[in-house]
Amino acid sequence: MFSILKPLPTDPILGLMAAYRQDTNPNKIDLGVGVYKDELGNTPVLKAVKKAEAFRLENETSKSYIGLAGDLGFCSKIEQQLLGEHRALLANRVRTAQAPGGTGALRVAAEFIVRCNPNATVWVTTPTWANHISLFEAAGLTVKEYPYYDYENKGLLFDEMVETLKQVPKGDIVLLHACCHNPSGMDLNLEQWEIVADIAADVGFTPLVDIAYQGFGTGLDDDAAGLRLLADKVDELIICSSCSKNFGLYRERIGACSIISDTSAVADIANSVLLSVVRSIYSMPPAHGAAIVDTILGSNELTALWHEELAEMRDRINGLRSLIVDALNTETDQDFSFIKHQHGMFSFLGINKEQIERLQKEFGIYIVGSSRVNVAGISKANIDYFSKAVAEVLK
């Protein structure tokens, strides 16, 4: 049976990781992999996480399964973090299942959509996180794209986006990035979120909000403002969230899939289907990451510490954006000011594939083929080397 298989290409980002590890250039810089890094290039374990893990180690009493929905304390606290005091929560219209990472949450959402409407099309931004398309297609869903990023002007194609969304058939799914758009860094403002929410209500498509970077843009509440506006306007909403970035829990694979329905009774029915999906994929989620988040958000002291650490990461990223703009604008004759107007870890440099290849071969600077860079991979120690290398390949 295995002999009929054909080799598949390596994921481009995973291939970059391997090439970077093998590179002997002492000045090499990894700007491809989407993980937060500190000034020393490390992805640290947060102090709040360390304290929560110590508490768990001392107080855990069982290794039994935690149930299909996962850690219920975690699920409740994540709902509150996403929605605040939203009336959907007060009306008991929200149901959440813990999932193995944001990716797991998206796959659960995809299978849930198939159960609701196997003929639904999922609409994603052009561009979007590369794995979005494969996740939905693997579940048997059709994927189409709607205009989003303006490569030429380094902004949003919002008018084109609006016109396309107005034509989306009722019953289809529209995926929206809540904040820190991956891979462009360009986000909708509140006025634009209002327009999109009104279109969703009028047209009848179901929004699916991917919120993987809450707190990395401008703040926990600000980054969820668009999501909450949507929840104000539509009766049904799917939310896929992740704790990988804002809690630094990448390898613990902790995320959640939340469903908002128009009534509590419908939410119960939707939840039964959601948990059936979970059962058919991985049965029970892992416990450790959820317990850490539940412990942190259940403690005033640890929550305050986490907020402080999250602000440090966010401020570092925003500071790096200004640093990159100043350095590139000094070394080149191009204007990179657009980078300062974006949010989160990612941005397109807007250079071509030949220039990207030169950066890798000649300078050991690793960037995804689309020219997406992980801003957090830059530091005060390597910014001069990076900006001079970019200037060289732009000549």
Strands 121-126 and 142-147, sheet pairing:
parallel
Among positive and negative, which fits the CA dihedral 141, 145, 148, 150?
positive
Furthest C-alpha separation in the chain: 63
SS3 238: strand
Active site residue 123: no
Catalytic residue among 123, 129, 193, 306: 129
Q: How far is CA 278 from the centre of its chain?
A: 21
Is residue 127 reached through a cis peptide bond, with omega within 30 degrees of 0 on the bond before it? yes
Active site residue 333: no
Catalytic residue among 37, 51, 154, 245: 245
Per DSSP, 219 falls in state -
Task: Answer whether 93's CB lies under 8 Å from 261's CB.
Answer: yes
Strands 255-260 and 94-99, sheet pairing:
antiparallel
Beta bridge pairs of residue 369: none
Q: Which two tokens stand for residue 320?
A: 């790096």
Active site residue 210: yes
Taking the CA atoms of residue 244, residue 262, residue 113 and residue 274 in that order, the dihedral angle to the nearest 10 degrees is 60
> CA Rg, the chain, in Å?
21
Catalytic residue among 30, 172, 210, 294: 210
Active-site residue set: 129, 210, 245
